Amino acid sequence: MSGSSQTSTSQTSTPSFAPQTGALTTAFNGANDALTKAQSATAPTDFTAQFTPAQLATFQQMLGYSSNSAVPQSAANAGTTLTGAGTNATTGALSGLGSYDPTKLNNTGSLVDQANAYVNGQNIDAQVANAMLPAEQQARDVTMPGIEQGAQISGNTNSSRTGIADGLVQRGLAEQATNLGATMRGTAFNNGMQLASSNANANNTNELAALTNAASAGNTATNTGVNAGTSSINDQGNLYSLAENAGAGQQAANQANLTNQQQQFQAQTNDPFAALQNYYNIVGANNWGQTTTGTQTSTPSAWQVIGGLLGGVGNAASTAGTLGWKPLG
């Protein structure tokens, strides 16, 4: 017998999940079905909502209108015109107010000249002659003939008395005419003076009002022009904002299409792996237990061999005694 020997053993371990075998088998089969369905399912082609034709048309209209600079340009032109006209009017009015002199029209010398001109325009001599006509007729037709008749009756024809009487009548007519002319000229002068003063005051008032109104109108026109210029800038800014919003809308519409394409690509490349991952989470992610079968080989040590031999000798002696054998000698 050799000094060493080898032994082989076979071991079988019962899986720890044996009571769950039915349920796990069902789960594995369901996972296989789920994987098959996931891999054969048709992925959606749209993930991002696209802009409607009406929205796109609105953006295009906004962009088209934003290039229309006629309105702000018109306001700018009006503003320039009004500002220039208003500035000139205001400057002229302020200059007129600075040099305004009410005594230029309403002064004594001017008023007297105007009053005298008024008197000269009244034709006082003709008015006096017309006013003296009844008295002259009375003297010619009544008074003078009466003096001559009285002189004839008294025998004083062509006497000095008669001449004196005629002279007194003529002088009285002349004095009356002179007094009447002076009165009429005085009245005309006073009327002319009053009229000239009234006209001068009215002219001064009108001139002052015209200058004041011109300054106010010029200031209003200037402010209106400035406001029109500001409005033109605001209008142009609104057009720029409109263009910016329209461009942003069109860009968003284009980006929506690009985003949808990117999401489609991601879904096509990632969804199969997601299905596999879900499948693996069921069938491969857990240690459900195992069954092992194998052969174990062992080599006995020297003492085990000696012990085996001794044991063999003892067993043999025992057997011999049983059978009635006796050792020799």
Q: Among 60-64, 90-94, 106-110, 159-163, which is the least confidently predicted range? A: 159-163
For residues 112-124, one letter each, b for 16 or more C-beta atoms within 10 angstroms of the residue's C-beta and e for the rest, the string is eebbbebbeebeb
Task: Round to whole Å and give the CA distance between 95 and 89.
Answer: 10
Q: What is the mean pLDDT of the chain?
A: 76
Distances (CA, A) of 6 to 60, 239, 297, 306: 93, 100, 6, 15
Q: Which residue has the tokens 């009406």?
A: 54
How confident is the model over 310-321, as a mean pLDDT? Answer: 50
Predicted confidence (pLDDT) at residue 230 exceeds the cutoff of 50 = yes
Q: Name the amino acid, one letter, at 318.
A: S
How confident is the model over 311-322, as a mean pLDDT? Answer: 49
Q: 162 or 118: which carries more pLDDT confidence?
A: 118
Task: Round to whole Å and give the CA distance between 70 and 236.
Answer: 10
Q: What is the pLDDT of residues 127-154, one digit of tens each?
A: 888 888 887 777 677 666 666 666 566 6
Which H or E element spans position 11? strand 7-12
Task: Round to whole Å and give the CA distance between 203 and 211.
Answer: 12
Using pLDDT thresholds of 50, 70 and 90, give the confidence band for residue 297: low
Q: Rank 3-17, 81-95, 267-281 by mean pLDDT and report only the highest.
A: 81-95
Task: Round to whole Å and give the CA distance between 175 and 158.
Answer: 25
Q: 62 or 10: which carries more pLDDT confidence?
A: 62
**Taking CA 112 as the corner, what is the angle to CA 109 and CA 115, rounded to the nearest 5 degrees?**
150
How confident is the model over 159-170, as a mean pLDDT? Answer: 66
Q: Name the amino acid, one letter, at 4.
A: S
3-class DSSP state of 10 = strand
3-class DSSP state of 191 = helix
If you write DSSP's letter for every residue of 208-244 in order, what string do you get? HHHHHHHHHHHHHHHHHHHHHHHHHHHHHHHHHHHHH
Q: Among 179-183, 208-212, 241-245, 315-319, which is the least confidently predicted range? A: 315-319
> What local confidence, expressed as pLDDT, does residue 304 receive?
61
The alpha-helical segments, DSSP class H, found in 4-69 are: 21-40, 53-66
Asked if 292 and 5 touch (Cβ cutoff 8 Å), the reply is no
Q: Among 20-29, 214-223, 225-234, 299-308, which is the least confidently predicted range? A: 299-308
How confident is the model over 237-253, as a mean pLDDT? Answer: 87
The model carries a pTM of: 0.45
Q: How far apart are the first and last CA of the chain?
A: 27
Of residues 110, 83, 97, the one with CA closest to residue 219:
83
SS3 content of the chain, % helix, strand, coil (to 5): 80, 5, 20
State the angle between helix axes of 160-283 and 108-120 in degrees (0 to 180), rounded to the nearest 10.
120
Task: Round to whole Å and give the CA distance between 222 and 80.
Answer: 9
Residues 6 or more apart whose Cβ sits within 8 Å of residue 94: 215
For residues 15-35, one letter each, b for 16 or more C-beta atoms within 10 angstroms of the residue's C-beta and e for the rest, the string is eeeeeeeeeeeeeeeebeeeb
How confident is the model over 307-313, as a mean pLDDT? Answer: 55
Q: Among 21-25, 89-93, 182-186, 244-248, which is the least confidently predicted range? A: 21-25
Using pLDDT thresholds of 50, 70 and 90, give the confidence band for residue 190: very high
How confident is the model over 99-109, as a mean pLDDT? Answer: 80
Joined together, the tokens standing for residue 34 give 């789920």
Beta-strand runs (E) in 272-318: 293-298
Task: Round to whole Å and give the CA distance between 129 and 180.
Answer: 10
